[in-house]
Amino acid sequence: MSTEPARVLVVDDEPALQRTLGPLLRSRGYEVTIAGNGAEALAALATEGPHVVILDLGLPDIEGTELCRRIRVSSPAPIIVLSARGQETDKVLALDNGADDYVTKPFSPEELLARVRVALRRIRQEPVGSSGQIRRGGLTIDFDRHRVLRGDQEIRLTPKEFELLAFFATHPDRVLTRHAILKAIWGANAVDQPEHLWVLVGQLRRKIEPDPAHPRHIISEPWVGYRFVADEPAS
């Protein structure tokens, strides 16, 4: 992204929400396009090239999760679902179809703005490969040597712990479903064995978190999965 204002595409058919979100986002310096249905959203996606998409699931023409899938096929823009549907199955389905985040209505405007900022920070980061080093949350992760350092001190991880941390670190500030993590770390046959993930997350927290009982980096998203917070909290 350049220094031009970030472009946000809002996809929602509720006039009241359109009247709320448009001015709210513009007041923070974003360029905003409003789409009232899925067809308008796909057209705006092609012509406007948004940096972030805020998407309601209850659209009149295209089911929200299907639209999410279509957007993901043609655009890397982070998708923040903003929906009144708060069931676990709705969240998991949207996230598995390409959404990056999920905010339930009614919502806090400041929380939504914070989620937009997080999404923009993520796309400004350099693409991460499976070699070299990256820094996340005060940690240096060396893919070539399978080493993790905090400052000059090495944190010794098992191969699976390293694999999980690497997966989190290459998807920072994004909600990851349990299904997606299990499939990435153990393969498709492990998606019905969430206890593996619970144990591994607990082990990794004990090694990288300053206070494992109150994690700063590996954050639980209730009933859905986890989010890896890359930035150090403000002191």
Backbone angles phi, psi at 73, to 5 degrees: -65, -35
And the tokens for 230?
Answer: 């890359």
The pLDDT of residue 14: 95
DSSP codes, 91-116: HHHHHHTT-SEEEESS--HHHHHHHH
Burial of 109 (0-12, 13-18, 19+ CB in 10 A): exposed
The pLDDT of residue 137: 78
Residue spans per domain, the chain: 7-124, 133-228
> What fold does the segment set 7-124 form as a domain?
Rossmann fold (3.40.50)
With 60 as the cut, is the pLDDT of residue 233 above it? Answer: no
Pick the CATH number of 133-228 from 1.10.10.10, 3.90.960.10, 1.10.3720.10, 2.60.40.10: 1.10.10.10
Amino acid letter for position 134: I
The model carries a pTM of 0.69
Structural Rg of the chain based on CA atoms = 18
121 or 189: which leads in pLDDT: 121
With 60 as the cut, is the pLDDT of residue 170 above it? Answer: yes
Confidence of residue 220 (pLDDT cuts 50, 70, 90): very high
Backbone angles phi, psi at 48, to 5 degrees: -95, -25
The rounded percent of the chain whose pLDDT value lies above 90 is 49
And the tokens for 99?
Answer: 């959404």
Confidence of residue 131 (pLDDT cuts 50, 70, 90): low
The pLDDT of residue 126: 45
| Share in percent of the chain as helix, strand, coil (round to 5) | 40, 20, 35
- 65 vs 91, 102, 143, 153, CA distance in Å? 10, 12, 34, 44
